[in-house]
Amino acid sequence: MEQKTDTRRALAAAREIVCTYRGPRLRIMEVCGTHTHEIFRLGVRALLPETIELISGPGCPVCVTPVSFIDEACYLARECGVTLCTFGDLVRVPGSSGSLADARSRGARVQVVYTPLDAVTYATDHPEEDVVFLSVGFETTTPASALAMKRASAQSLKNFSLLTANKTMDAAYLAMHESCDAYLYPGHVCAITGARVPRALTARGISGVVAGFTASELLTALAVIVKSAGHAPFFANCYPRVVTEDGSPAAQALLHTYFTPVDAEWRGLGVLPQSGLAVAPAYAQFDARVRYRIPPQEGRSNPACRCGDILRGACTPADCPLYGKTCTPEHPVGACMVSREGTCAAWYQYRGAAPASFS
Amino acid sequence: MCVGIPAKVVSVKDGTALVDASGARREVSAELLSSLDPGDYVMVHAGLAIAKITADDEAEAASVLSSIAPAEVNNGTED
């Protein structure tokens, strides 16, 4: 009972700190699609004074995946006859000449899986098919792709490979830091990398806090930013029940063994050096680009789509001429409208306003 | 796809855990976690348990806040 009283008092104080902030304008960028969604769903934006601006950054792996990746996947299905296994979010992302859903309607085999490990199981159960898993994701998801390769290797699977567009967040932190005063660092990415990765950014003048996903955790993280802003670069781990200083050594070892850093294109941000993860040369038999010699794909997106600007925090979905008109969750034009974690999808669902839920 | 789901461990066998997430049960890989027992809570991402967690986010909030802003927290008012 005493602990509950302490907690209520602490959260009331946190809300007071955030709601009464009257200092210089404070731009806070979340770089996690789940943060974007939860901030809307919980009504956090409705609590904030005009002096605090929340910017939705490049935190959704589907959204930052370039159009050319979809084109590569469609090429594999169309020209090589492979079975594509994919997370469901990718299926409706428009490529240069259609989505995976369009390809499926024309006869391509596209299987939706929950985890890369299910793709290995599918390949095991269907030895007559060549199976390619579309491996997108940040540090949270990529270890599962590494485990998929580990299992496929142990089984000597010959009909399984990955088409990779995996990315690491630290390059994005560096690329985007001038767009904000502080980051809400993604809690689950930090569970893998450890808090030491964002903590080290303070030496480069970059501030932020690791945040969890519940109302208490988000409010706490925002209060800590407000209390710390305006002084020296700062860092705090506001999600210690999940994030440790060193993260997950086991996951880091998997990434190191099965992947290798490469330059990678991010939708809206361009090519960021060493921000991607490709299949390590020692496991090239699982690299679909090596196995199928995929020719370079052009990657043409709708020129009116402003997903790139939205991912950089340069504008909001409401500034896009397509948003809510030709681009809706039912008929998405840009990737940010496709994924449930995308900024445009969150704006569309909550219409840029939500009721306060902390009272 | 990139959504973490907290879940309670029901059973563990050979690097695989049966977990319960608000009533939905499925098997996930537990290979990243060296010691996992029934009753533990884990964070699951794409079929992989990435971290052991505690269930209490509010105690965490009180702890973090009191270290940053002890005066406000101790003098704050309850709703």
Tell me the chain A residues in contact with residue B69 when contact means C-beta distances shorter than 8 Å: 13, 17, 223, 227
Q: How confident is the model over A292-344, as pLDDT tens digits? A: 999 999 888 888 999 888 888 889 899 999 999 999 988 888 889 888 788 99
| Burial of residue B67 (number of CB atoms within 10 Å: 0-12, 13-18, 19+) | exposed
Q: Domain count for chain A, please give it.
A: 1
CATH of the domain at A76: 3.40.50.11740
CB A135, CB A165: distance < 8 Å: yes
Q: How confident is the model at residue A123 (pLDDT cuts 50, 70, 90)?
A: very high
CB A179, CB A26: distance < 8 Å: no
Compute the average pLDDT of residues A126-135: 98
Q: Which of A14, A90, A140 sits opposite B50 (nearest CB)?
A: A140
Q: How confident is the model over A48-101, as pLDDT tens digits? A: 999 999 998 888 898 899 999 999 999 999 999 999 999 999 999 999 989 999
Got the DSSP string for A293-318?
TPPP------TT--HHHHHTTSS-GG
Kindly state the tokens that stand for A72.
């590569």
The answer to the question of residue A319 being in a domain is no
Compute the average pLDDT of residues A160-187: 94
Tell me the chain B residues in contact with residue A219 when contact means C-beta distances shorter than 8 Å: 61
The answer to the question of residue A257 being in a domain is yes
The answer to the question of residue A82 being in a domain is yes
The H-or-E segment that residue B13 falls in is strand B5-13
Q: How confident is the model at residue A355 (pLDDT cuts 50, 70, 90)?
A: very low
Of A224, A211, A174, which is closest to residue A58 (Cα–Cα)?
A174
CB A221, CB A184: distance < 8 Å: yes
> Residue B77 has what pLDDT?
43
CB A195, CB A222: distance < 8 Å: no
Question: How many angstroms away from the CA of A141 is the closest CA of chain B?
Answer: 6
Residue B34 in contact with partner chain A when CB distance is under 8 A: yes
d(CA A51, CA A49): 5
Q: How confident is the model over A208-266, as pLDDT tens digits? A: 999 999 888 999 999 999 999 987 999 999 999 899 999 999 999 999 999 999 999 99
Look up the CATH number of domain B5-75.
2.30.30.140
Of A220, A224, A183, A237, which is closest to residue A358 (Cα–Cα)?
A220
Tell me the chain B residues in contact with residue A339 when contact means C-beta distances shorter than 8 Å: 1
Whether B2 and A60 lie within 8 Å, measured CB to CB = yes
CB A284, CB A147: distance < 8 Å: no
Q: How confident is the model over A305-318, as pLDDT tens digits? A: 998 888 888 898 99
The overall longest dimension of chain B from CA atoms, in Å, is 51
Domain span including residue A139: 62-169+247-292
Kindly state the tokens that stand for A284.
């090239």
d(CA B60, CA B74): 16
Whether B72 and A213 lie within 8 Å, measured CB to CB = no
Question: How many angstroms away from the CA of B35 is the closest CA of chain A?
Answer: 12
The answer to the question of residue A287 being in a domain is yes
